[in-house]
Structure 1
Amino acid sequence: MKTKITLALVIAIAMTSCSKLWYWNDDDKKDEIKLTESNYVFEGDLYKYALEIRIDSLEDRAAYLKEIIGNNQGTPDIEKDFEETTANLANTAEIAESIVVFEDLADRLGRRNPIGPRPPRPGVIPINLEYIIVYNLEDVNLQINDENGAELAQSEGILYEIVGTNNMLMYKKVNITNAISEGAVIKIKRLNKLNQADSYSIQALK
């Protein structure tokens, strides 16, 4: 019995370590990719992480300006800066709240959610990076540069629909041009379905 239980655990682990996804290729034929815990990033996770960093910075700025104003040292420019900072903070927090992260996919896609293994935490570059997966975006571009600005990786081609997700879940290939080094920076440009563009950078974690 113990042997059977151990074998069952091994099988379960093997089943969750890789997920096969179907998509339509350039020749309008159904093709297949395989996702593992170490070969893709989920853009929603990266964007939410970047927005949270923005929020922390804006909160610090707002608190600093509020203290100056509270000490009767405020000027019209400082008060204007405070108003703009708090408005930006509220807007950024609202955007962050609306972002779909990996953990939300089951609720959003239900049984249509084909992704099994979760990607590394935001900021960690997968050792075998091949794909960037997006949810409900018009387009996305990923670039990774070293600390001196030299290109290490770049997304290429167009977004492909992952079959069965009604165009909500898509992927793009990432081409590694040089070995990923310490101090690398992940740069993302995204375009949502309302044609609203945003870009952000994340310092890669060790």
Structure 2
Amino acid sequence: MRAGMAGGSADAAAVLVGLNALYGAHLSMSELCALGAKIGADVPFALMGGTCRVQGVGDFLKALPPVPECWFTVVMPDYGVSTPEAFAAYDRVGSSIHPDCGAQEAAIRAGDLDALCAAAGNALEECSGAKDNEAIKAALCEHGALTALMTGSGAAVFGIFADEAEARTAAAALKTRWPQVYVAQPDKGGARVTAPKWML
């Protein structure tokens, strides 16, 4: 089974897909998403994967075309962030960051990576309590990232790069300070059952 980022939500999506296959339940994606929404807000997206505009509490998903070709360098500090605490802080103090979701969707449809990065933002960054955000974002941008943002409620931070070589160069540089650094490409699907490597 394979799932993308989102921590426990990705794990839950992988379990639902695996059980659906293991027991031959033949549940549709809509049925799996309905089950997933009862587990956690990000589970339906982790099931669908690809590029989506997500609204509500994660229960309204609009599938979009794939994001333009790009690479991610993801940096994970040696600590985590409590999602409930981050949202509670947001409810108390709000945020000065207001991502333009409409502009992001338009950029994706136009295949414009620069415009997508210019419209991106994470309203939870200011209240997540992740102390390394700014240092990691600055380091990623110094090494050529088009933009750098905290993932979800943190504490990981990712940079978006136009090509693999830049992403890997940045990863090598940042590993000297933060040991957990990964390079990845956007995935066009969600959690799914795949054959083990030894079977391929």
TM norm. shorter chain > 0.5: no
User: What is the TM-score normalised by the length of structure 1?
Assistant: 0.25
TM-score, scaled relative to structure 2: 0.26
Higher helix share: 2
Q: Which has the higher contact order (CA 8 A, sep 6+)?
A: 2
Q: Which has the higher strand share?
A: 1
**Larger Rg belongs to:** 1
